[in-house]
Chains A and B, each alone.
Chain A
Amino acid sequence: MSKYVPKLSELKQEFEKKKPALLKEDYSGKEWWDLPVEFRDGNWCFPGKTEVLEDLGFPNPRKWAATDADWQLPDGWEKTIRDGLKSRLKRFRSFKLFLDTCVRCGACADKCHFFLGTGDPKNMPVLRAELIRSVYRNDFPLAEKILKGFSGSRKLTAEVIKEWHLYFNQCTECRRCSVFCPMGIDTAEITMMARELLNLIGVNNNWILAPVSNCNRTGNHLGIEPHTFVQNIESLVEDIEDLTGIKVNPTFNRKGAEILFITPSGDVFGDPGVYTMMGYLLLFHHIGLDYTISTYASEGGNFGMFTSNEMMKKLNAKMYHEAKRLGVKWILGGECGHMWRVVHQYMDTMNGPADFLEEPVSPITGTRFSNAAATKMVHIAEFTADLIHHKKLKLDPKRNDHLLTTFHDSCNVARGMGMFEEPRYVLRSVCNSFHEMAENTIREQTFCCGSGSGLNAEEFMDIRMRGGFPRASAVRQVQETHKVNTLVTICAIDRASLPTLMKYWNPGVSVYGLHELVGNALVMKGEKKRTEDLRESPMTGLGEGEE
């Protein structure tokens, strides 16, 4: 027998070790916090690299892993957390309110995709929030301190920190639970605070901090230097010319342009985002828009939101600094998720008012976007919907006949901005086959992709597949009933993570950005005969010799 074959005793030992914790011991009659916290391959993200933390000036840079027994927390970490919690309770009244008002009704419990996908009770939003609330109760309100035991309070220990790290990184801040909360508690904000606190003692996630560091240094998540950023877009310009015969002419860092266009950098370097970028470029050429792209504010996404308020503010500020420097009138934003949550919900009081910009007015239709009066930033979906509404686009939806579509509402745009109809209006105008998923999985009740808020790490794949299961199930339903083969979305994280989710749960469904379909359908003046879409896939019935 091979020497590599494990001995029976070793197998038994491994089996015992990996056996689900609840089966090892009887936990009846014990408190919820007695359930053990177990880190296994696939359920934790790699921590921030030392050099990344040093770049950012973040505390406690070191080599460690969640599976280590000793996390090398800094001396006095308990005080750091307590002081951090106190300071945040004072600074953010919403946080205090959310900790104080929960009545444990449980309405949120089965609304979380991570709870539905994992079945883990600590993934119920009510219990996830309780992880931090229990410490807050022990340390703060006097009456509850006296009533300790009745109030569900507990001491802050290293085990609690491990538990926070595990479960606050199984929340994508999607806010589906908050839709159902009768008290209006936004669990995402509790998660944001918990992650801020963890960052204070160096408990973190490299998939979040590396993009933050890159963005802080070069302006985008992947750390693409300005010349490469331009080269990438020029390369897409060549592709567009090959496919359509049209040469589009984006400009970079041009002072005096009317509009600054900012999109997630995934649209400039990643597949399938680049096809969405090609769609934008075709659209802007089609309407003769006076716009420019910045190589400094080369990222719409803002992973600062998953790190700290200060970092979110700093990364958001670069977009507005650049708009000021270039002297544009307003900003047009691409298809992104959390960029829009930051802009729509936090920007005005965080970096605003952006009174050096003008209230956005479409130069093509004259529509005044008074909803963007404060932020001076318009979402591309509403901009395009307005163009279509005013019949400013020549569209041939037949060109998308090879795509049988459904639409995934991106959490931050749907729940964070209330934008439901504009993307659907655009989608219906550019394709002939569109089927909605089940009512309780779309619009404000949309299910998250399972990888938002910086959890798109490959080492976290098992949990991502489980967290994304409710979304995948809804897609599967329309795949089976309507032969849907295309999942359209308006978020860069979705475009990065949903292809993986679909390939795992629903093979045969591909993921597209909305403006990729716009780009396919646009009939450009002087174009050559179009037989292939922007991915160079044949368009149904439009091949050579077909009419």
Chain B
Amino acid sequence: MTIEWGRAVQENKKNILDAWMSRSLLLFSGKMAAASPVAEALHQALGMVLDNCEKNSELLTDGLVQLSRILAVQDMPPSQAMSLFFELKKIIPELSLKGSQKQSLKQLDMDALQSRLEELTLQAFDSYMMQREKICQLKLDESKRMLFMQLRRAEA
């Protein structure tokens, strides 16, 4: 059964996504244009996360990976990158009021939303750290590739 906040998200998805996207772009200190390739990829990733935010699934994981891949190489600390999930807590109730429900989410729904956003944030953080680990691994791999013949001779 779809939970109430989930229904609110699905019914107002476009508006929520647009608002979430605008606020996410602020993370880039006003430098990233909405029509840039990075913003386009960010929009796609946020959309995937929003589509699948109610429960864990492969699609949600894919969305989080795409999102964290973009965020993990930007000029911002992890805490700031993750803060975009907290924006949803404000955006969803705010935009639900303007949607078909015409009423604010009940306190129970707000608690459920809060709890789910916390889960999502932690999952996103894991994913973010995975990308940072990957960057470290890529640095190591690159050094090894550069010394490929020397290492091969040393191993032989």
**A residues lining the B interface (CB < 8 Å):** 11, 14-15, 18-23, 38, 40, 42-43, 110, 116-121, 222, 231-232, 235, 266, 268-272, 274, 458, 461-463, 465-466, 469-470, 473, 496-497, 499-500, 503-505
Contacts and interface: CB of A to CB of B under 8 A. Distances in A.
B28 A500 contact: no
Interface in B102-156: 131, 134-135, 138-139, 141-150, 152-153
Contacts of B152: 235
B77 A15 contact: yes
Contacts of A117: 37-38
A192 B53 CA distance: 49
Interface in B43-69: 69
Contacts of A22: 29-31
Given A116-B38, A235-B149, A272-B145, A504 B33 contact: no
B33 A119 contact: yes
Interface in B1-45: 26-33, 36-38, 41
B142 A504 contact: no
A476 to B, nearest CB: 9
A271 B146 CA distance: 6
Nearest to A236: B149
A167 to B, nearest CB: 13
Contacts of B31: 20, 22, 118-121
A23 B153 contact: no
B100 interface: no
Given A274-B149, A505-B69, A23 B29 contact: yes
Given A18-B76, A119-B31, A465 B148 contact: no
B97 interface: no
Contacts of A20: 27-29, 31, 75-76, 80
A110 B36 CA distance: 9
Interface of B: 26-33, 36-38, 41, 69, 73-77, 79-80, 131, 134-135, 138-139, 141-150, 152-153
Contacts of B150: 269
30 contacts: A18-B77, A20-B29, A20-B75, A22-B29, A23-B26, A40-B75, A42-B73, A110-B36, A116-B36, A117-B37, A119-B36, A121-B31, A231-B153, A235-B152, A266-B146, A270-B146, A270-B149, A272-B145, A458-B139, A461-B135, A462-B73, A466-B38, A469-B37, A469-B38, A473-B37, A496-B142, A499-B142, A499-B145, A504-B131, A505-B69
Nearest to A232: B149
A220 B153 CA distance: 19
A79 B28 CA distance: 37
Given A466-B73, A469-B37, A503-B138, 11 more contacts: A11-B79, A15-B79, A18-B77, A19-B80, A22-B31, A23-B26, A118-B31, A121-B31, A232-B149, A503-B141, A504-B131
Nearest to B131: A504
A231 B149 CA distance: 10
Contacts of B144: 271
A270 B74 CA distance: 29
Contacts of A268: 149
Query: Which 3 interchain pairs have the tightest Cβ spacing?
Result: A20-B29, A119-B32, A271-B148
